[in-house]
A and B are shown apart, each in its own frame.
Chain A
Amino acid sequence: MDERIVWFGNVNKLNGVLRHDPRSEPQCGVLLFNAGVVHRIGPHRINVKIAHMLSNLDVATLRFDLAGMGESGPAEAGVGFEQRALNDLAQAIDFIKGETGCTQIVAVGMCSGADHLYRALRADLAFDGVILLDPYAFENRSAAMEDMVSRAIKPDRWMRKARSFLVGNRTNDAAPLAVSEDGQARPLPAKEEFGQTLDDAAKANREILIVYTGFVKGLISKPRHFFETFSAHDFGDHVHIITMPETNHTYTTQAAQDDLLSHLKTWIGERYCDPVADADE
């Protein structure tokens, strides 16, 4: 599997690393890009780990920095942050298709990256699938009740929270819905808009995988919480939810990373790869 440094994009000088076997013409290409403030390798180098895993499935990957981040060139003046990201993603789609011959494009976005991919769905960018890691989450009564019961039977958790509050230590308990990993306000779409966006994407035969971690444990801790919240929609088999409530937002432990990689391998492998392409089998 070959890795090479690439520059692409019309207006923005976008920089990335393309991982691709030049002897093959992969069916699927996967885009990986910035989460929050971290450059393209991702929190704890997770994007590189995902790229390495996917190369065993003969999946091409392009990990790149959005304009104004990492090694990419400066952002285009006069264009808003959200639109710039959409422009960058559109250029990345064209680039990976042109370079590798792949016909199906999937993108992976974590937190702010998931927000960008949500807007990409609304803008109807040419993704065949998206993987959203801790995207927007909405209140669910069952999840709230279950979380409350869980806390009530573990009084030491309340003691830790109280101690944490008093001494100002960091806590990894479920963060408020409207806060991103860097503590900044994260504008939320209306729940109805979110549901309809996924509904429209599913009707267009796009595949969507959402993974929720303990970051939103008080809102969603089981897949059924999500489908209860959006019970008015029929996503068919196109929306798949995985919850990892004991995992933190950036998959800090090796066990959490292994689980995430396993989920991604299964989901992408089942939908976009020929069975014989898996080198591990």
Chain B
Amino acid sequence: MPVTPIHFGEQERRLYGVFHAAERRDGNAPGVLLLNPFGEEAIRAWRACRVLAERLAAGGAPVLRFDYYGSGDSGGNDEDVDLAGMVRDTQTAHDELDAVCNKRRYVWIGVGLGGAISLLASQDGIKGLRHQILWDPVLNGKEYLRSLAQSHAIFVSGERRTNPPATELPSEALGFAISAKLREQLLSLVPPDQLSADLRKLDIISIQSDSIKVALKRAVTASSINISEYNNITESWNSDAALNAYYVPSGIIKYIADRVGSA
């Protein structure tokens, strides 16, 4: 099914997205918003997100995937990327999706840092958003910065640094600049204490530390959110080897498609 690339948002903050129209009528199917990871990870995840969007659209769910300002085909430069901006862009993208398909229900799927953005952008409630799927979510910004610094050092030098400086705060990672503003915001990023009061379902797909899941479950326990986990992960999308091998994690995509399609 052909896709519809679009520009949307304010003229001064022009965003690029790709809309996948639902391929069959399903009044119960939700609209789906895909939230990218950061930087090079968005490039590595691109194919999987495209395949996922196609799968969801084939199942009757319209999908919008988009690039934050300063990334992908959206306007702006690396230095324009910051967490608050990505949150605003997500809300803009949701409004665009809602304007196009006018659904009663929506699902957000956040990959990598997109997982944190999904939670942040929905804290005060988003029309129709009751279900979020967090795929390898980044919820501890300090740890994430450290891992970016290490990944960058390994990539550029070709050797493993086992003990990167404890205070290393990268100004770039894997081909992308990290502004001082983004760095500050990431240093403050921690797993949330509370989630959106409107949230009813939360899926976690992660091979990362249990601390992420523990933190999310703690935030969930006080509410009536139904939480599910997918742990059957044998390979990661997040590597150059996976990118160059055209790797698409079909098990995860099937899981997500099934979860989106569930009542």
Residue numbers of A with Cβ under 8 A of B are: 3-5, 13, 15, 17, 36-41, 43-46, 48-49, 52, 71, 73, 160, 163-164, 167, 169-173, 181-183, 248, 250-254, 257
Contact = CB atoms under 8 A, between A and B. Distances in A.
Given A71-B18, A182-B243, A254-B177, 14 more contacts: A17-B16, A38-B46, A39-B43, A41-B72, A43-B175, A48-B72, A160-B159, A163-B159, A169-B160, A171-B158, A252-B155, A252-B175, A253-B156, A253-B175
Contact of A71 (B5, B77, B158, B171): B5
Given A39-B46, A170-B154, A181-B244, A44 B159 contact: no
A45 B158 contact: no
Contacts of A40: 73
Contacts of A45: 43, 71-72, 78, 175-176
A5 B158 contact: no
Contacts, number: 89
Q: Is the interface of B mostly helix, strand, loop or mixed?
A: mixed
Interface residues of B, number: 37
Contacts of A5: 5-7, 16
Nearest to A183: B244
Contact of A169 (B6, B18, B159, B174): B159
A3 B43 contact: no
Contacts of A253: 156, 172, 175
B5 A252 contact: no
A37 B18 contact: no
A164 B158 contact: yes
Interface in B16-67: 16, 18, 40, 43, 46-47
Interface of B: 2-3, 5-7, 14, 16, 18, 40, 43, 46-47, 71-73, 75, 77-78, 152, 154-160, 171-172, 174-177, 240, 243-246
Given A41-B43, A45-B176, A36 B155 contact: no
A113 to B, nearest CB: 15
A163 B158 CA distance: 11
A40 B177 CA distance: 19
Nearest to B175: A44
A236 B54 CA distance: 51
A44 B41 CA distance: 10
A5 B7 CA distance: 8
Given A160-B159, A250-B175, A252-B155, A52 B77 contact: yes
A38 B43 contact: yes
A49 B5 CA distance: 20
B154 A3 contact: no
B118 to A, nearest CB: 22
Contacts of B159: 160, 163-164, 169, 171
A5 B67 CA distance: 14
Contacts of A169: 154, 158-160
Nearest to A250: B175
Contacts of B73: 17, 40-41, 48
B2 A13 contact: yes
B172 A3 contact: no
A248 B73 CA distance: 24
Contacts of A41: 43, 72-73
A44 B154 contact: no
Contacts of B177: 254
30 contacts: A3-B7, A3-B14, A5-B6, A5-B16, A38-B43, A39-B46, A44-B43, A44-B176, A45-B43, A45-B71, A45-B78, A45-B175, A48-B73, A52-B77, A164-B158, A169-B154, A169-B159, A169-B160, A170-B240, A171-B158, A172-B155, A181-B244, A182-B244, A250-B175, A252-B152, A252-B174, A252-B175, A253-B172, A254-B171, A254-B177
Of the listed residues B7, B158, B174, B243, the one surrounded by the most CB atoms of chain A closer than 10 A to its CB is B158
A248 B46 CA distance: 23
Given A4-B7, A41-B73, A169-B160, A73 B175 contact: no
